[in-house]
Amino acid sequence: MEYELGNDTGFGTRRLRLSTINNTRWLAIAGQLAAVLFVATVLHFQLPIIACLFLIALAAILNLALTRLFPTNKRLRPVGVFAVLIFDVAQLSGLLALTGGLTNPFCILLVVPVIISATTLPPRFTATLAAITLAFTTALTFVHLPLPWYPDILLEIPLVFVAGMWVAVVSAMIFTAFYVYRVAEEARRLSDALAATELVLQREQHFSALDGLAAAAAHELGTPLATISLVAKEMGREPFDPESLREDIALMRTQADRCREILRRLSTLGAGDEDHMARVALRTMIEEVVAPHREFGIAINATIEENEGTEPVCPRNPGIIYGLGNLVENAVDFAKESVEIRMAWNEDRVRVRIIDDGPGFPPEVLEHLGEPDIPRTPNRPRNGGGGLGLGIFIAKTLLERSGANVVFSNAFSTGKGAAVIVEWPRLSMQAAV
């Protein structure tokens, strides 16, 4: 089974909450108000304080309106967040235009909305917002009131300094936005991949419980059903006599009740008492893993290349079964004619090697195997379609949870392609649940 992560994965499901935006803006409003009042009342610099307070009031009015119109836990669509961030850029640009433009050291705050966009919005919104911010920044270079200063001192800011501030703001905006986007994107993909891993593990646990109980139920139903069948035949041979059949009817009723109890346990997945189904030998588990993949025209050979001591017996771990099954499935998909599964164990280690005779892993893919998403490559075509991204990540994660170390490589043997080595400390495998 293959999984893919789209380009906008996570943006649709991780919308920014309105309360987060509002709280951030209240903090910005408090900072802007404190700065304006400090400059006007403590430093006694001349500045258009009424116009500045009007712009700050606009931000407060927007916050109050959003709070009144929408519930605080509402998650905004990307378009909504984008519109709000445009307002923030415009409002801050207005304040800067009234207080010195790019000569105002607080102009660096223009990069904040772009950083927020890079964290929460798809790239197209971030690129558009960055372009808008760049336009405002450029306009502030030429259109602004003088920087508030002491009235009896003439402050002249050289144009080269203003140009340097423009370069600093633009550089900070580009580099921080790109860096934050890459970090957030990696976190999103990892989160989605781990969520998919949890879903797969839950499904495999459910299937494992169902399979184990079904086998146990089939075994247990055999005896009561055979008894009912035998009694029914005996009743059919004898002449009808209610008194003589009373005992047989009671026996049939008892066996029917036993069947009903077994089926009730099956419907509730009460497999806790099926201890004989809970543990499995290594060779038996490998055969269970391989069985679904033998019908695709690829020969699968399971052999033992080293066996020191007794054969490992481990719990029927859904994570191990799914992880090995995914690796075998990929080997079958890429193989030309055959897949080899080589088992080895001693008193300390248990190892399973899966080798196909396909083209092997391309070098540019090999170093990224096990990551949530890797680019597809045309150099290793597969019969089943899809890629080597999230499915391999899930398999590797589940196997590592059981204590295994998973290594991807190429076989470097004539007629052999990719090789995957899965190795456990024996105690870890036998204790894996």
Q: How far apart are CA 6 and CA 384, in angstroms?
A: 20
Domains and CATH numbers, the chain: 18-198 (no CATH), 206-276 (1.10.287), 279-431 (3.30.565.10)
What are 36's two structure tokens? 């304006």
What are 133's two structure tokens? 């911010």
pLDDT at residue number 336: 87
Instruction: Please write the tens of the pLDDT for every residue from 348-357.
Output: 899 999 998 8
Task: Annotate 248-289 with DSSP letters as a single string.
Answer: HHHHHHHHHHHHHHHHHHHHTT-GGG-GGGTEEEHHHHHHHH
| Residue 356 DSSP one-character state | E
Nearby residues of 41 by Cβ (< 8 Å), 6 or more positions away: none
The parts of the chain modelled with pLDDT lower than 70 are 1-15, 190-226, 229-246, 248, 260-278, 372-390, 413-415, 432-433
pLDDT at residue number 59: 94
The burial class, CB within 10 Å (0-12 / 13-18 / 19+), for 167 is: exposed
